[in-house]
């Protein structure tokens, strides 16, 4: 079977190629790539992070997979409020339950052909044998040098002076996941991870891990002409993408949508979320901007897209949020732990307020478009800027004969309230996102990977 794959690191595409050679489809290719990225790109993703995906099995409806971890049942909200008016940027209080592993299993359950053990085999080899430090990883190490030096786990992994990233503890963790993924949440691996979290100062315990479930739900949709766009529902900012895609004045639409998102996005499990206002921000009630938290706009994330000749399609994003997430690595399991909890709000009346068992407002924003028998899978790194990064390429990606050229064009993004535009194709920046795109159009497959990242797009198995 021919499968188009795009990912931000060549090792991910090689893992996908191995899955396709073994008879895998687009779901298998995406999962193999995701596993490899959890090894090769620890600054952007990990089994200690979260996952959101849109999956369209051939001949079936699209489904949204939300594997977003919750805050600890024993979270001390009073102590957090006493420490300041904002959640901490990193550290143990920002770690929520990691959702990646349950997300992998949920995607596999929608139609993959290979076992999780087979899909993770390339990642396990990468972790055990080592993978060269990529340029993107080296940039991230320089950016968070102080945090890495202050954490024994990260410093032992990243500051050895070696040319290859070798992770034996992570190899053992991935082997255990391949043998039975529920061990991450309820078995021996969960117990060891819970103990590691305790030592790091996190309020998460084994019961919090055991309570996690991935959601598989209908996606939100918007129809523009003959094209149906799919995105994930809250607490993900999928409705923000749907609000701006196809807008005649994208910048103006994005400025308004950004404001509404910051004030209204939260977890519908633990409080009301005004979905109609998120989808139609021009009609939303007014209100001042959310207070600045002084953080970089990007976030560290990986997108993987895959489409096969039968029409199976996946756009998958997994993330530790900021570079190296919480800035903490559990040495026993080799897991880099995310800081998704830093997106919670401390105001008691905000939809994104922190609460026991609540999921934080989420930046991950994969999208998928369907028109007739054609399908487009699109995703990117880019933190809070993901909706307008994707919207700048989404429409043309449906029909462009030069997908790589499309991704090479300069883009704009928000840095706090300011609009920043890349100077030109010779000066592309990580802040403008790493877009990955795959497409099936008139029976022909195509793939492209953003030149801002380290990866490639390829059609495999031809």
Spell 193-213 as b/e; 16+ CB within 10 A means b.
bbebbeebebbbebebbeebe
Question: Contact, 282 vs 256, CB < 8 A?
Answer: yes
Residue 298 pLDDT more than 50? Answer: no
Cα–Cα distance measured from residue 130 to residue 160, given in angstroms and rounded to the nearest whole number:
13
- How are beta strands 300-308 and 335-337 bridged, if at all? unpaired
Q: What is the pLDDT of residues 17-38, one digit of tens each?
A: 999 999 999 999 999 999 999 9
Q: Identify which of 5, 10, 6 has the alpha carbon closest to the alpha carbon of residue 454.
A: 10
Q: Residue holding tokens 């034996």?
A: 168
Average pLDDT on 395-399 reads: 94
pLDDT band at 271 (very low <50, low <70, confident <90, very high): confident
Q: What is the pLDDT of residues 402-446, one digit of tens each?
A: 999 999 999 999 998 899 999 988 899 989 999 999 999 999 999
- Residue 200's pLDDT is 97
Cα–Cα distance measured from residue 436 to residue 325, given in angstroms and rounded to the nearest whole number:
22
Number of Cα atoms under 13 Å in the Cβ half of residue 445: 23
Cα–Cα distance measured from residue 387 to residue 364, given in angstroms and rounded to the nearest whole number:
9
Query: Can you tell me whether residue 337 is helix, strand or coil?
Result: strand
Percent of the chain at pLDDT > 70 equals 96
Average pLDDT on 120-147 reads: 94
Crossing angle (nearest 10°) for helices 26-40 and 10-21: 140
- Residue 136's pLDDT is 86
pLDDT band at 309 (very low <50, low <70, confident <90, very high): very high
- Residue 369's pLDDT is 98
Cα–Cα distance measured from residue 376 to residue 368, given in angstroms and rounded to the nearest whole number:
6
Cα–Cα distance measured from residue 217 to residue 54, given in angstroms and rounded to the nearest whole number:
10
- Residue 425's pLDDT is 85
- Between the CA of residue 127 and those of 35, 86, 196, 449, what are the distances in Å? 10, 36, 20, 23
- Residue 285's pLDDT is 65
Which helix or strand (DSSP H or E) is residue 51 part of? strand 50-56
Residue 245 tokens, joined: 């895609």
Average pLDDT on 143-156 reads: 95
- Residue 66's pLDDT is 98
Catalytic residues, which ones? 301
Structural domains present in the chain? 3-217+294-460 (3.60.20.40)
Average pLDDT on 212-237 reads: 97
Q: CA angle at residue 72 from 182 to 174, to 5 degrees?
A: 30
Which helix or strand (DSSP H or E) is residue 440 part of? strand 434-441
- Residue 165's pLDDT is 96
- Residue 290's pLDDT is 52
DSSP code per residue over 285-321: ---PPPPP----S--EEEEEEEEETT--EEEEEEEEE
DSSP code per residue over 394-420: HHHHTT-S-HHHHHHS--EEEETTEEE
pTM for the predicted model, two decimal places = 0.96
- Residue 289's pLDDT is 55
pLDDT band at 300 (very low <50, low <70, confident <90, very high): low
Residue 455 tokens, joined: 């990866």
Cα–Cα distance measured from residue 24 to residue 17, given in angstroms and rounded to the nearest whole number:
9
Strand partners, 105: none
Average pLDDT on 349-373 reads: 95
Residue 294 pLDDT more than 90? Answer: no
Cα–Cα distance measured from residue 365 to residue 371, given in angstroms and rounded to the nearest whole number:
20
Number of Cα atoms under 13 Å in the Cβ half of residue 165: 28
pLDDT band at 286 (very low <50, low <70, confident <90, very high): low
- Residue 287's pLDDT is 53
Residue 293 pLDDT more than 50? Answer: no
Residue 1 tokens, joined: 């079977």
């Amino acid at each position: 079977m021919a499968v188009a794959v795009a990912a931000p690191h060549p090792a991910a595409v090689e893992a996908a190629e191995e899955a396709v050679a073994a008879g895998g489809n687009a779901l298998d290719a995406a999962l193999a790539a995701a596993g490899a990225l959890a090894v090769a790109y620890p600054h952007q993703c990990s089994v200690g992070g979260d996952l959101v995906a849109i999956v369209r099995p051939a001949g079936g409806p699209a489904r949204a997979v939300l594997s977003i971890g919750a805050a600890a049942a024993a979270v001390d909200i009073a102590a957090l409020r006493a420490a300041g008016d904002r959640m901490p940027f990193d550290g143990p209080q920002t770690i929520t339950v990691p959702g990646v592993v349950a997300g992998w299993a949920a995607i596999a359950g929608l139609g993959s052909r290979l076992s999780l053990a087979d899909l993770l085999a390339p990642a396990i080899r990468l972790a055990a044998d080592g993978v060269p430090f990529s340029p993107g990883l080296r940039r991230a190490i320089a950016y968070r040098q102080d945090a890495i030096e202050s954490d024994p786990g990260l410093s032992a992994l990243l500051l050895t002076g070696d040319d290859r990233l070798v992770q034996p503890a992570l190899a053992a963790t991935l082997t255990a996941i391949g043998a039975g993924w529920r061990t991450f949440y309820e078995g021996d691996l969960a117990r060891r991870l819970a103990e590691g979290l305790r030592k790091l100062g996190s309020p998460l315990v084994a019961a919090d891990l055991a309570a996690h479930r991935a959601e598989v739900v209908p996606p939100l949709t918007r129809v523009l002409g003959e094209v149906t766009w799919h995105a994930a529902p809250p607490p993900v900012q999928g409705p923000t993408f749907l609000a701006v895609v196809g807008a005649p004045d994208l910048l103006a639409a994005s400025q308004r949508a950004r404001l509404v998102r910051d004030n209204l996005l939260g977890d519908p499990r633990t409080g009301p979320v005004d979905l109609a206002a998120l989808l139609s921000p021009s009609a939303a009630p007014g209100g001042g901007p959310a207070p600045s938290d002084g953080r970089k706009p990007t976030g560290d994330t990986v997108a993987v897209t895959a489409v096969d000749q039968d029409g199976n399609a996946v756009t998958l994003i997994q993330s530790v949020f900021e570079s190296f997430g919480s800035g903490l690595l559990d040495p026993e399991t080799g897991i880099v732990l995310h800081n998704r909890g830093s997106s919670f709000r401390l105001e008691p009346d905000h939809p994104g307020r922190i609460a026991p068992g609540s999921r934080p407002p989420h930046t991950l924003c994969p999208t998928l478009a369907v028109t007739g028998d054609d399908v487009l899978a699109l995703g990117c790194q880019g933190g809070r800027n993901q909706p307008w990064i994707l919207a700048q390429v989404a429409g043309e990606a449906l029909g462009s004969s030069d997908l790589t050229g499309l991704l090479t064009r300069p883009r704009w993004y928000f840095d706090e309230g300011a609009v920043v535009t890349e100077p030109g194709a010779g000066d592309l920046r990580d802040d403008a996102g790493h877009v990955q795109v795959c497409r099936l159009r008139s029976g022909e497959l195509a793939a492209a990977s953003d030149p801002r990242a380290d990866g490639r797009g390829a059609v495999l198995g031809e």
